[in-house]
Structure formats: C-alpha cells, structure tokens
Amino acid sequence: MSAESPAAPAERRRAVVTGATAGIGAAFTRRLAADGYDLVLVARDERRLAELGAELTDRHGTGVTVLPADLSTPDGCGLVADRLADAAEPVDLLVNNAGISLNRSFLRSTPEAEEKLLRLNVHAVMRLTLAVLPVMTARRRGAVINVSSVSGFGAVMPGSTYPASKAWVTNFSESVALSARPYGVRVLALCPGYTRTEFHERAGIDMSKSPRWLWLRAEDVVDTALRDLGKGRSVSVPDWKYKAAVFALRHAPGGLIRVMARDNRGRIGRPER
C-alpha cells in the first residue's frame, strides 16, 4: 500500500500597498498581514518601510518586500508598475493609498505643487491600476482598492484641488470596475471622511477645531473597505454620517452646497490680495 502524497501547501496571497507607512495605508498592511497576505510595501521612507516590515514579519510571519519609491516621479511610478506587471509573482490585491493635499488655495498655488498633486493622486493611481489589471484579468481573479475621499462628491473645499483629484479617482474606479468584473476582478473606490492619520499634519492643515465625532479610526475604514469589496461593491463610504453627507452632496440644491462651501473656507489658506 503506497503512502499518500503530502498535500501541496496553499498558495499565499500577495498584496501591494502604497503609502504603506502611515494612516490608512499602515492600517491596511496590519490587517492584510493578519489575514495571511504576503506584502509589498511602497513608500518614500526606506527606514520606516523596513521598521514596518520587521514588525509585520515578527508578529504574523508575513513575507514582506519593501519597495522605496516616490510615486510622484516617473522613475518611482515605473518601478512599482514593473513589479505589479510581473506575472511570475502575481499580485492578488493592490491598494492605491498614497496621496497628498495642499494647504493653499489654487489662486496662490504653483504649477509645480499642482502637478505633483495630480501625478500622485491621479496619474499614479491610473498607472498602477493599468499595470496590474492585465495579470489579474488573465488569472481571472484579483482586486484593486483605490483610496478616494468623501470630498470628491462635491466642491465643498473652496480653492482646493484635492477634491477634484478624488472625484477622478472615484469615477475612474467605478468605470474600471464595470470593465473588470466579467473577468472576476473587483475594483473599489474607498471614500472615507476625516480619518485619524498623519495626512493633515503632513499637509500643514490645522484640524484642531474639528468636532471629535467627525473623525474615523483608520482600522474601521479598512474593515469597511474589505467588507464592501467582498460584497462586490464599487464604492465604499465608511460610517453612517459620511453616507448621509454623500447623499446630501449628490442630491442637495446647488445653493445649499455653496453655503456649505462658504462655511468650510477656513480649511484652506485664502488667496493673497
């Protein structure tokens, strides 16, 4: 009687997370590591990437590759795109989380600052999604989560181009989701509201006067995103209060939206006269 052959080990899933060292990106890495994913971590700061990778390996036994890259540059974006297009080590989940905002009105901005915002918030999302989808569609499985924002549903931040960039991310994700779904690939736009991260601090935006009840935990945002991804949704808005805000932005009269925008002028520096 011959001995049974040992079962082949299950293939581990692999995820790429951009903007991995802080905020929502870091929350994604910790949740995915706990769920058994091997990870490719992308951010500019190599030291922080290495520290996070060591933490995840020690705690969860996760295989971690760190990929230092500035996605606002052609070289950085190309480096990550090449990794995503590698069919020999395919990626099961891409989280496009890296992004920036500017603490200035468009009326006193610079071409350099605005172009950097577009390269990171828009071009990198497009380029990396385009790089990974051919491999995913060929395998008939995979998912992309593009981190957008509730602010993308309406012009309620006078002078800021951040909401415009996130409006693109949401519409792009919904459109690509329709084309990828027949191949078994899911695409989700994650649209959180105010979330406790380093995001506003890095942009130099003072949020100290914002009510505490407005703020979300990054871990809860990630939980909602993964749950909605599993349900096949193409847009995820965490928390009931932001679902209500999105409904209002989509359906409220234009005059009311303009009043809301006037009340929010203090978030962005006013133009110099």
Residues 6+ apart with CB under 8 A from 119: 71, 72, 73, 77
Is 162 labeled as catalytic in the residue annotation?
yes
CATH number of the domain located at residue range(s) 14-267 in this protein: 3.40.50.720
pLDDT at 159: 84
> For residue 61, which phi and psi values (nearest 5 degrees)?
70, 25
Tokens of 112: 């350099």
The pTM score is: 0.86
Across-strand partners of 35?
A: none
- Residue 8 confidence class, pLDDT cut points 50, 70, 90: very low
Q: Mind listing the pLDDT tens digit for each residue in 46-86? A: 999 999 999 999 999 999 999 999 999 999 999 999 999 99
Q: What does the alpha-carbon distance between residue 237 and residue 191 come to, in Å, rounded to a whole number? A: 5
pLDDT at 203: 44
Q: Examine the pLDDT at 200 and tell me if it is beyond 60.
A: no
Tokens of 69: 């890259």
Q: Calculate mean pLDDT across residues 221-245.
A: 95
pLDDT at 198: 54
Question: How far is CA 128 from each of CA 42, 52, 79, 97, 132, rounded to the nearest angstrom?
Answer: 12, 22, 10, 11, 6
Q: Calculate mean pLDDT across residues 27-44.
A: 97
Least confident of 80-84, 118-122, 148-152, 267-271: 267-271
Q: Calculate mean pLDDT across residues 26-44.
A: 97
pLDDT at 10: 60
pLDDT at 76: 98
Q: Examine the pLDDT at 156 and tell me if it is beyond 70.
A: yes
Across-strand partners of 17?
A: 41, 95
Q: Which residue has the tokens 């992004």?
A: 99
Q: Is 147 left (phi over 0), alpha (psi -120 to 50) or beta?
A: beta
Q: Which residue has the higher pLDDT, 263 or 147?
A: 147
- Strand-pair category, 235-236 with 93-96: unpaired
pLDDT at 270: 35
Taking residue 131's Cβ as centre, other Cβ atoms within 10 Å add up to 21
Residue from 221, 250, 223 nearest 238 by CA: 221
Question: How far is CA 271 from each of CA 114, 118, 191, rounded to the nearest angstrom?
Answer: 15, 21, 28
Q: Examine the pLDDT at 213 and tell me if it is beyond 60.
A: no
pLDDT at 210: 57
pLDDT at 155: 76
Question: How far is CA 129 from each of CA 39, 73, 261, 272, rounded to the nearest angstrom?
Answer: 17, 16, 32, 38
Q: Which of 162, 183, 194, 242 is catalytic?
A: 162
Q: Examine the pLDDT at 225 and tell me if it is beyond 80.
A: yes
Q: Examine the pLDDT at 3 and tell me if it is beyond 70.
A: no
Average pLDDT, the chain: 87
Q: What is the DSSP string of 72-92?
A: TSHHHHHHHHHHHT-TTS--S
